Amino acid sequence: MSHRIFNFSAGPAMLPTEALEKSAQALVNYQGKGFGIAEVSHRGKEFEAVNDEAIARCKQLLGLGDTHDVLFLQGGATQLFTVIPLNFLHGSADYLVSGEWSKKAASFAKEVGKINTVASSEASNFDHAPPPGQWKLASDADYFHVCSNETVHGHRLVAWPQHPNLIVDASSEFLSRPHPVKDCALVYGGAQKNLGPAGVVLVLVRKDLYPKQKKVPSKLWSFKDQAENKSMINTPPTFGIYVLLEIFRWLEAQGGLAAMEKRNAAKAALLYDAIDSSNGFYKGTVSDQQQRSHMNVTYRLPSEALTDEFVKTAAAGGMMGLKGYRTVGGIRASIYNAMPVEGCQALAAFMRDFASKKS
């Protein structure tokens, strides 16, 4: 394969080369059968086997039993901001607002029904997630929604909360570490960060939620109906699901989620060390260092001009996608599962060199 650069894009993001090569092969000639996996019926035996194996491997990676269904849906995690309250918001729901994405989730839910913001860190530009001691949870809420890793602001919930009806948007850290999904009511995330190409949303739904579902305008938006139809009420994104399967296989070959957590922590430490040892040249944007994300490392340089120069020089050196989110600015290095340790070593070395030249 030709040379590949280090892609720090926040999503759609870098995918493991081995999984891409196997998926490319399957796209042209699946198992030597003379047709590609994207060219077969979603009702045929070839794709059915892919779907079944993807569900089984997903459950295996997460240590999930028969309590939950695994769904592969379309429309993006943003669509679920509305679909979740359409299904489960009866009286009121609790939302922790810790960044751009949880704020959006809460605003979408507000269009459906009553929500209670248990805490918000918007006043400090979302530089941390409000700690549990500040949460004002309602005892009668239908569910409690959190975003476990705020992609834009670079912080995460170190431990997921315990709540009988916890709903987690795990988009930007899905399968980057072991998750307590068996204790959650529903966990969801867009595939285009850690899991695969854009176009698939992975959803884990606890089966005891189905009797609590409201009637929705379409079966397409009903978790129960989607589960009963193995996510195939309409034609699913078949090739996207195939790539997911290759990612699940790759994750198992890496040693599973505990091994990924260790590797991701080491990768993040390389970059945070470069920030912390820069004598203030780089300033991390997260006020509580315990909450620093292992997926999205966010920091600022002394000026906009230096930031632009940093991004351009890094790109010339084979490191792309470092510009911060449009509403926030600064630098964001997204180091999902597929980013090799060498990528973080290269960026850390570049950061030290750039700081020494410009300080």
Is 193 designated active site?
A: yes
- Contact 219/233 with Cβ under 8 angstroms? yes
Catalytic member of 69, 94, 101, 221: 101
Which position among 59, 169, 267, 323 bears the catalytic label?
169
Q: Tell me the β-bridge partners of 114.
A: 92
In the residue annotation, 142 being an active-site residue is answered as: no
Q: Which of 59, 193, 224, 267 is catalytic?
A: 193
Return the bridge partners of 298, or none.
Answer: 332
Catalytic residue flag (residue 221): no
Residues sharing a CB contact under 8 Å with residue 88, sequence separation 6 or more, in sequence order:
142, 143, 167, 209, 212, 213, 214
Where does residue 280 rank: exposed (0-12), middle (13-18), buried (19+ CB within 10 A)? exposed
Unique residue bearing structure tokens 């193995």: 230
**Catalytic residue ranges:** 101, 169, 193
